[in-house]
Every structure is written in structure tokens, then in C-alpha cells.
Structure 1
Amino acid sequence: MVADSSRSDSPRTRDAPARTPSAPRTVAELVQAQWGDHRTALKHQQTVLTHHQVAGAAAARAALLGELLPPGAEPHIAVLLDNVPEFPLWLGAAALAGAAVAGINPTRRGPELARDITHTDCALLITERAHLPLLAGLDLPLPPERVLTVDDPAYQELLAPYEGARPDDVTGSVLRTGPGPRRTPDPTTRMLLYFTSGSTGAPKAALCSQGRLAAAGRSLVGHFGVRTSDVHYLCMPMFHGNAVIAGWAPALAGGAAVALRRRFSASAFLPDVRHYGATYFTYVGRAVQYLLATPPAPDDRDHALRSGFGTEAGAVDAARFAARFGVRLVEGYGSSEGGAALQRTPDTPPGALGRPAPGDDLAVVDPETGDELPRARLDPAGRLLNGDEAIGELVNRGRSAFEGYWRNPEATAARTRGGSPGGAGAGWYWTGDLFFRDPAGFFHFAGRADDRLRVDSENLAAAMIENILARYAPAVGVAVYAVPDPVAGDQVMATLALADGTAFDPDDFAAFLAAQPDLGTKMAPRFVRTVAALPVTATNKVHRVALRRAGFRCPDPVWWRPIAPAARRPAARRAPTAPAPSAEYRRFADDDRAALLAQYRDHGREHLLDR
């Protein structure tokens, strides 16, 4: 399907400033605004659609949805697709109709996948042939006729009667109160139910309204200066909030185009960017590290990209990316649930994520007491001197945009516990993320709440150690996490993904650590695992749970720094001059593993290795 882009009779065919970002309050209004706009809106392989065509296609699907949705059913649509054109078309359809989309993760399997569809009360499932095997034999909560396969001819037959639908004719097609007329979607109308990845338990479906999604899009239009000539490259999975909230929404709000990649590919990234003329992309997790691991080429800067926006790249890799590709990466912070956000300003120092938006009341607090913690003290080298007292959980003590989790009041209450009754929900919004705040008021990310390490009675944050180890040139990816100490607390373990053909040199790594001025005395990893690539989740985030559970019992090579017997005494009885672990690394052998496991058994801590 290729759009006719040769029309010039409309004043909106030429490049223009981004749509006024302050007018539309809902996603439905943004989709309606596409009608009559004949500039390019969507690109995927050989498919090119205009904004007008996208709005028409969304209207047709909204009309079909109005016919297929059973009376009294929740207006929820499960979308089990890769990044193909049908995904944004159904997002637009849901917005017009007043329905909500639940993005289904295709890496989930069996009962877990069925549970996600059942939990979100989806009355319709949109999928493609490639994913049909995932559904075989599952006990789904909907009949076969409400499972639509977008690349099946029967799907086009279903859509055919609605192809002439206009956005205004179908708006609110599923929003009826009894036999009366349908109502128009408003800012509170549910738009997304997207699953948050957790380390334990079933994923939670966070709610996002049309108003919040439209506001996020408008905000990013202003922040990045989105133009109607821009092309947003969506290579992160659209079942995750990053691609929809940070990629699709600002393109829709600013009148820009989106270009879709079915699944992220580091080797295809630059060819795609050049082919589509992409100017902006989003990323999460290790995507930036994968791009940096591709072989450098003389034409690495031959593209139109201006910026990338995402999380977890880190200051070191962001600088490497800018130096190699000439693209500025903007590390942002905003909880998936919308409860807290930081804004980057021109004076934000390296390593910091910014300050709160005007009117927000963000603080770093003790997760046990809720007391605000002291500001960080940094030495001239940037080393955090008081991490034990300055690192805590980031909370929003004011009114947040968090809208809760679908059918999970316990999880919703846990996010909004305590604090002042004047805030959203029952109290403050707790992010689950560790931060510290510097003397100038800038917030610095220090890891997830479950990534805290306690070594010799000192609290450490995994993210801070990762930022230091990321400077180690042979490593293209780094993950730091806790393994339990045989006696008390934790020990630091790091997994290094090494560049192709690179062997781990323990002496070189020890020398690197010794040369880092901001590496605290407790931060050096006791265990180092080397891999070809870090294990990741479907959203390219490091699979820390898998790393933590494997620990030093993994099949990959592990090096370690043995600890002298005198240093094994509990911290309370240790002399100030007690010997530290050896600075040298040696291969962790089978007899080392056996002896260490015996220590865990002797102290009754062997069960902690499986946490």
C-alpha cells in the first residue's frame, strides 16, 4: 500500500511548523486533526501513508470495533503485533472509539500470555500470522471470531464495509451509557493498559488516559522542537510505553511522521535511518550499547538524525554515541506510570538527570521512615562521599499523574502509600528508584530499589558502579548486581559483555579499577562474569533477575578476588586495618565454588543464592 503523495492542492502538503501543541486535550482530537493532511505520516518498508490515510484507516477500524465489541464488555483491545502499520492504526482507532489498547508482549508464553489478555479484560485480540503459534492451545477469554489476524484476507473482508468511515463519524463509537447516544472521549478516557516489568510476580497493567498521553506528546513536541518534516524512528517494541509515549505520541501531536522497524536490529539501524530520513529515535535498556558495538564505518555520520531520547544509556555511552554518530542522546527520567518526572535543563551537569518540573515536589527519602535525606557530598573527582546517608527512594510528595493499575488495588496502594493526603491517590507516589540529590538540587539516578547493595554495612547503588565500569574500553556492556555474602550483607558482582574477539585480561581490569578516582573502597566487584552479550528482556533492559539468580554458579567464565580469612570476620569486630580482598583477579575454579558454597551452608545463607 503506497500513498499518493503527489497532491499539491492542499495548503498542508508543504512543510509547516508543528501543530499547535496546546489545543487538543485528547488523543482522539489529535487523530481527527490528521484528516485532510496529505503529508507523509507513516513509513514501513514499502508502505507510505499520509496523515489523511492514517486517520481514515483508524476510523475504519474504530467502526469495526463498534460492531464487534459485545454489549457490556470493557472496551479493551489486546494487540499482539510487532512494529507493523496495524499497531499505530489500532492505537488511533482505539482513541477515536474511546477504547483502550493493551500491548501484549510476544516473548511471554503459554499461561502467562493468556493471563495478560485475561487480566486486562480484552474483548478483542489483534494479531498476525507470525504470532498465531503463541496462541495455539491457550484458554483465551474470547471466541475465535474476535481474534483478528491482520495479514489474513478475511481481515480485509471484515474492514471493507467501513473503508469510507470518517473520524468524526466514529468518535466515541464504544462509549455509550445505556440506549442513549454515544459520548465523545474526554481526557479521562482510558487509552493504554501497558504492562510494567517487575522482578517478581505477574506484570502489572498501568493505566494511561487519553489526556495523559496527549499531554506527554505535547510536552515532547516543545522539548525537542518537533517539526512536521520530522520522522520518528520507532525501533523499540510498541507494546512497551517507551515507543508509544515517547515516540508515537509526540509525532502525532507535532504532525511528524513515524517510521517502523518490526524489531530492533543494531545492524539495520543506520540503513533504516537513512532510508526513512529519520530525525529522532527512542531507546531503552542496552540498545545504545548494541549500536556502539557495531563496527565503525566512515559514513557513521551520514544521516539526518538530530537526537535520541531514552533511559539507561549512561553518560559514558551517551558521549561515545555523540562522538561517533554526531547525535545527542537525551537521558530522561519519567516513571512508566506517570508518577514522577525530571526535566533536563541546559545547566544539568554530566551524570545528572535534571530537576523536577515546576510545581512538582520530588524528594529523596528514607524508604523506611519517609524522612528526606541529606544532599550528596561530592569530592573534586565527582566521587559520592556520603552515599550511605544520601541515597534513597525518589518520591513525589505532590499531585502526580499516576492513574493506578488495572484491577490491582494492592499494587496501586503500595505506589501511593503514606505521605500527605493532599497528593494523588492515598499519599505520596513512590517510584521504586534510588536517587541522590547534589548540592545544586540536581537529581542523580542510583539504580532500582532492588538493585541496592549493602557491602560491609555500607549502602551502594548498582547504577553508580556501572557508570564507572562502563569506562572499561574492552567492555561493550556492563551490569552490576548483588550476590549475597556468605556471612552478612552482599558482595558486588559484575557481568561484562566483551567486544568480539576480546579476551578478559584480569590484570588489565584490576589496573583499570585502581585508576578510577571515583571508585569507592567497597565498589570493586568481587566477582566478574564475562559474556558475549548481556541477557535482556523483550524491551532490551538487562535481565538482572536472571543474572542475580545465576550469580557465580553460571556456565560462563568467572573471575574473583579471594578474601583473606582475617577479613571474613563480621564488620562489628573487624579492626580498622583488617585486610581487604585481594586486588588481583584469578579464575573462579570448581574447588573455589565448592568451598564458597560450603561457607553459605555453614552460615545458613545458601537459600539466599536463589532470591
Structure 2
Amino acid sequence: MSEHVPTVTELLVARAADERPGLKFEQQEWSWSEHVQCCADRAALLQALHRGDRPFHVGVLLDNVPEFSFLLGAAALSGSVLVGLNTGRRGESLGRDVRLADCELVVTESKHSALLAGVDLDSARVLVIDDAEWAGLLAEHRGSPLDPVAAEPDDLLALLFTSGTGGEPKAVRCTHEKIAFPGRMLANRFGLAPSDGVYLSMPMFHSNALFAGWAVGLAAGAALGLRRRFSASGFLADVRRFGSTYANYVGKPLSYILATPERDDDADNPLRIVYGNEGAENDLDRFAERFGCQVVDGFGSTEGGVVVQRTPDTPTGALGRPGPGVAVLDPATEQRCPAAEFDRDGRVTNPDQAVGELVNTAGAGSFAGYYKAPEENAQRMRGGMYWSGDLAYLDRDGFCYFVGRSGDWLRVDGENLGTAPVERILLRHPGIAQAAVYAVPDAEVGDQVMAAIVLADAPLTAAELGDFLAAQPDLAPKQLPRFVRIAADLPRTATHKVLKRPLAAERWNCTDPVWWRPGQDPSFELLTPERAAELTASE
């Protein structure tokens, strides 16, 4: 008999009589029972506001405040659809997201309400949670009975937008199962119970926060500790104050926390498990040792179509082993790519054959499609298989290595290169805190490799960088950056993913210092304005 797949509604109803701590925010606290009642009140309000026949789409433009959690539960109880709106979007871009997701209501706070001024919302009503109108509407429904609308695992519960690093964000359909299943799975995997606490500082309009944070706490009955916005300096104090034993992350937060001053009592905290994805490899062990916890870094995306599992024997640089049905296929032939071959220095000698796209050959996995995007859905589900858009290769032992997104391909001297391996090499240097690699045009044909780096506290010279890169045995000559931009910071999305498009568009025409390599050797020098102008003219 197959295991029962829960819905978010069922997980909420199971907490309705639970008087143990359920939600903590700043100096406030709610039991799970009180949390579910707040969700029921708002579910009744949403049902009263709804006038159409189709599910009520409610845009939420909020930081990680209690109202976000209450509204997510309200959507589950009322049969509505919560639309996570990115607080980093502006003007027409934000309006486009509201219209694409068919929002009939947008709930925001005064802090963000100005973002909606003058924006075409296509008749969507706007309510502000810290004004009198919202308070009055809630008062009418306070104490509403818990009367959930029946839900099935494949019913739509939320629309979450992709980060937009490769173009306009797409609205990913998130069903009850897509949210509830990873929550229960991770709670069971890490042995979380009501006595635990889940620290939630990643933005709740993103999948990582919902799948690997909010849903985990709900499934385990563990108290959710909400942070309005991520703060590296506030992380440890929050963990201690909330009693959090589990935290989730995506991207660079571990690096930011590690950059805070060390203290002798850093490991004196309740944290046991930190789970996330896209953390810098050299940060994982450092974080675990400094804060006395286990760090588990996985691989995932908002779409959720492929699974790669990290195991204790995963080699350095690898993501882990592909899950059932996941393979690396040649996009042109749709055949499995051969295993990567390595030379004695660890460089892949057959990248054109070994690098392909990560594909779920068994079907869609947890990918439930993009909202109102039939062409993109068809592209993802070619031949009945889910094509992730992520480039990778496998070694002979079946371990998977990430190369980059399909849009991150560089064509250098007739050879395809991925950006991720070069970024991993750059980050080996203790003086480099962040790195992004991208393509800039070659004056003759194809691309040249450019990197933007953010320095750590220690200084770094152009000569030292050249010596370091020359000493890396697995850096192939064609992977050697031609240009290196020394940036104060890298442009990022609200979920800490690097935006490479503006970097690539600026090329070397920026106010940051740029080192360049005139010849074939890894010998860098400062790019002068005169030489930069010549290079731009030659494109």
C-alpha cells in the first residue's frame, strides 16, 4: 500500500489543539492552536472577499512577518491560492507579476505599500495589514470556526516566482503535495519533533523557505522562529532566543554569517541541523565546526523536477548522487552522456561529450508546471521527461558535478565551458569571498571568460591572483579568466542568487577596478580606461 500523501490543510488541522509553541516573532509568541485559529480567521475573511467562481488568488507582498504564515494557512483552509510577491521587484515588473498570477487581492504592509503606487494591478484590491481597514475586516471574522475546504494533494496552493536570473520570473505552480511532502520528509529525516524549533529567515515568497522551512516546522509541530529579513549579525542571537534547533538557507547566508566576528561561545547554541542548497563548498565544514551543528547542503530549484542527494562519501566538488530516474542527457540527441574522463590534474578531458542537462527521465517529479506558460511547460517536459536547464556531468562512480545553467555556457576557442567549475576554483583562494563567472564577447568569435570577485578581509594583488591560478592543476587554459572585476559586492536577487546579466552587460565598462590578461599566461594587469575603450570598440 502506498504511503498517504498529506495536504497542508491536514497538517494544519493536526495542530489545531496543540498548545505547544507554534510561532515566535520578535517578542511575540503564538501556540500552534492559536496559529491555526489565526489561519481560520483569515480563511473566513478570504472567503467573504471572494466573488468569483475560480480559486481566489491572493498576492502577498510582505517580509517574514506572522501575517505571511497566517495567510498561507488561510489559503490552505479556504481553497485559495497564495501568490508570493518578491519585495525586491519594482514598478512594472511587480505589476507584471501581479497580473500574470491573476491576483484579485494583494495584501501588503505600509513598509511596502508605496511599491504598488501607480502600478497597473488589473483591478486587484490592496489591503495593508497595519492599517485600520485590515484590523476592522479581521475583527468581523475573529473566532471563526475551523471549517476547512476539502483539499487534494494535487490541488494548487501557491504560486512562487523563480528568481529571474535567466529572464523574467516564471510563476511555479506549487500544490499541497509539493509543499507538504518535503516538509514531512525533512522532519522525519532529521528527527525533528515538537520540542525542536525551526529558524526561518529566508524570504517566504521563495520555495526554499516554504519547502525546507515553514512546512518542516508545521509537519514536525516544531515552533517557527520568524526573522523579518535575514541578518548575518542577528543569526546567532535569534537561534538562541527562539531555541531553534534547525535552520534552512539558500545561497550565500552561510558565508555572510561566517564573515561575522568569531566568539569563543559560538558553538554554545541549540542548533543541530542546517539544511539548504547552493552553499559555498568551503563554508560547509567551517560553519559546522564553528557553530557545533551538522550542515547538509543539497541541490534543488523552485521547480523541483530533479533530485540530487548528497551522501557522506560525496567527493569534494560534487553535488551528490542523482535520485531515481535522474540522468545527464545530451540535449541534442537525448541520449545519456558518457562519464567524464579526467587527466592526472583532475581536469575533465571530454567536456563536449560528458556535459549535458540534468533530466528526470521518469517524468515530471515534483514539477507541477508554470502558471499560464504552455510553451515553457512544453519545453520543460519534452518527450515526457523533465529537462531542468541545469548542466552537469557524472564521474565513473555516478557522482554528479554541477557545471552551470544552460544559459551559462561559454564558447571559448570552439569549446563549451561551464561557469561553476571556474567559480569553485576561484573560491579556493582565502582572499576571495564571492565569485561569479560569465561570458563577454570575443573580438573575433565566441566568448571570453570574465569573473567578478569580492575580496575577503585579506588584500589580493593581480600578481598573487595570477600565481594562484597558475598553481591550480585542474584549471584548463581555456577556463582561465581574461578579465577579473574587483567588485565591492555582487548584484543578487532577494534569495541571494547572483544576477550575472547586469555584470555581463557592463563587461569591463564599470567603476570597479578590472584586471585583465593581455597574453596567454596568467599574468594580470590593471585595465586602463584607454585600453578598455579600445576593447569596447573592437567588439
Match of 2:499 in 1: 543
Q: 2:293 aligns with which of 313, 316, 327?
A: 327
Task: Indicate conservation of the 8 Å contact 1:437/1:443, yes or no.
Answer: yes
Q: Which moved further from structure 2: 291-300 or 534-543?
A: 291-300
Matched, 1:300 2:263: no
Q: Which moved further from structure 2: 219-228 or 400-409?
A: 219-228
> Matches of residues 31-430 of structure 1 in structure 2 within 5 Å?
31-142=12-123, 146-167=125-146, 169=147, 171-172=148-149, 184-357=150-323, 360-379=324-343, 382-400=346-364, 401-417=366-382, 419=383, 427-430=384-387
Task: Map Cα deviations across residues 426-467 of structure 1 (whole Å, 9 max, x no partner).
Answer: x21110101111111121111111112222222221111111
Distance in structure 2 (CA, Å) of the matches to 1:187 and 1:242: 19
Using the TM superposition, give the Cα deviation of residue 161 of structure 1 relative to its aligned residue in structure 2, in angstroms.
2.9
Q: Is there any run of 5+ residues in structure 2 with no aligned partner, and where?
A: none
Letter in 2 for 1:204: K
Q: 2:464 aligns with which of 499, 508, 512?
A: 508
Using the TM superposition, give the Cα deviation of residue 73 of structure 1 relative to its aligned residue in structure 2, in angstroms.
4.4
Letter in 1 for 2:258: L
Q: 2:533 aligns with which of 576, 579, 594?
A: 594
Distance in structure 2 (CA, Å) of the matches to 1:56 and 1:480: 49
Match of 2:444 in 1: 487
Distance in structure 2 (CA, Å) of the matches to 1:383 and 1:228: 48
Percent identical pairs in the alignment equals: 49
Task: Indicate conservation of the 8 Å contact 1:243/1:282, yes or no.
Answer: yes
Secondary structure at 1:334 match in 2: coil
Task: Map Cα deviations across residues 512-570 of structure 1 (whole Å, 9 max, x no partner).
Answer: 1122222222222111111222221121111111111111112100001103xxxxxxx
Task: Indicate conservation of the 8 Å contact 2:162/2:171, yes or no.
Answer: yes
Task: Indicate conservation of the 8 Å contact 2:5/2:177, yes or no.
Answer: no
Using the TM superposition, give the Cα deviation of residue 24 of structure 1 relative to its aligned residue in structure 2, in angstroms.
5.9
Q: Is there any run of 5+ residues in structure 1 with no aligned partner, and where?
A: 1-20, 173-183, 420-426, 564-580, 601-611
Task: Map Cα deviations across residues 348-392 of structure 1 (whole Å, 9 max, x no partner).
Answer: 2232222233xx311111222222111112346543332232111
Letter in 2 for 1:309: Y
Match of 1:575 in 2: none
Q: 1:431 aligns with which of 378, 384, 388?
A: 388
Using the TM superposition, give the Cα deviation of residue 396 of structure 1 relative to its aligned residue in structure 2, in angstroms.
1.0
- TM-score w.r.t. the length of structure 1 is 0.85
Distance in structure 2 (CA, Å) of the matches to 1:447 and 1:459: 12
Secondary structure at 2:479 match in 1: coil
Task: Indicate conservation of the 8 Å contact 1:22/1:218, yes or no.
Answer: no
Task: Indicate conservation of the 8 Å contact 1:504/1:530, yes or no.
Answer: no
Distance in structure 2 (CA, Å) of the matches to 1:396 and 1:335: 13
Distance in structure 2 (CA, Å) of the matches to 1:245 and 1:209: 11
Using the TM superposition, give the Cα deviation of residue 596 of structure 1 relative to its aligned residue in structure 2, in angstroms.
1.7
Task: Indicate conservation of the 8 Å contact 2:7/2:180, yes or no.
Answer: yes
Match of 1:496 in 2: 453
Using the TM superposition, give the Cα deviation of residue 208 of structure 1 relative to its aligned residue in structure 2, in angstroms.
1.0
Using the TM superposition, give the Cα deviation of residue 246 of structure 1 relative to its aligned residue in structure 2, in angstroms.
1.0
Distance in structure 2 (CA, Å) of the matches to 1:381 and 1:37: 58
Letter in 1 for 2:281: A
Matched, 1:524 2:480: yes
Question: Compared with structure 1, are the counterparts of its residues 405 and 315 closer, same or farther at alpha carbon in structure 2 (3 Å cutoff)?
Answer: same
Task: Map Cα deviations across residues 299-343 of structure 1 (whole Å, 9 max, x no partner).
Answer: 222222222222221322223322333333222112311211122
Using the TM superposition, give the Cα deviation of residue 200 of structure 1 relative to its aligned residue in structure 2, in angstroms.
5.0
* CA RMSD in angstroms, aligned pairs only: 1.8
Q: Alignment length, in residue pairs?
A: 537
Question: Compared with structure 1, are the counterparts of its residues 200 and 336 closer, same or farther at alpha carbon in structure 2 (3 Å cutoff)?
Answer: closer
Task: Indicate conservation of the 8 Å contact 2:165/2:498, yes or no.
Answer: no
Q: Which moved further from structure 2: 109-118 or 39-48?
A: 109-118
- TM-score w.r.t. the length of structure 2 is 0.96
Distance in structure 2 (CA, Å) of the matches to 1:435 and 1:259: 36
Task: Indicate conservation of the 8 Å contact 1:69/1:124, yes or no.
Answer: no
Using the TM superposition, give the Cα deviation of residue 92 of structure 1 relative to its aligned residue in structure 2, in angstroms.
0.6
Distance in structure 1 (CA, Å) of the matches to 2:21 and 2:239: 16
Q: 1:452 aligns with which of 409, 434, 438?
A: 409
Distance in structure 2 (CA, Å) of the matches to 1:588 and 1:356: 43
Distance in structure 1 (CA, Å) of the matches to 2:161 and 2:423: 26
Using the TM superposition, give the Cα deviation of residue 124 of structure 1 relative to its aligned residue in structure 2, in angstroms.
1.7
Rg: which structure is higher? Answer: 1
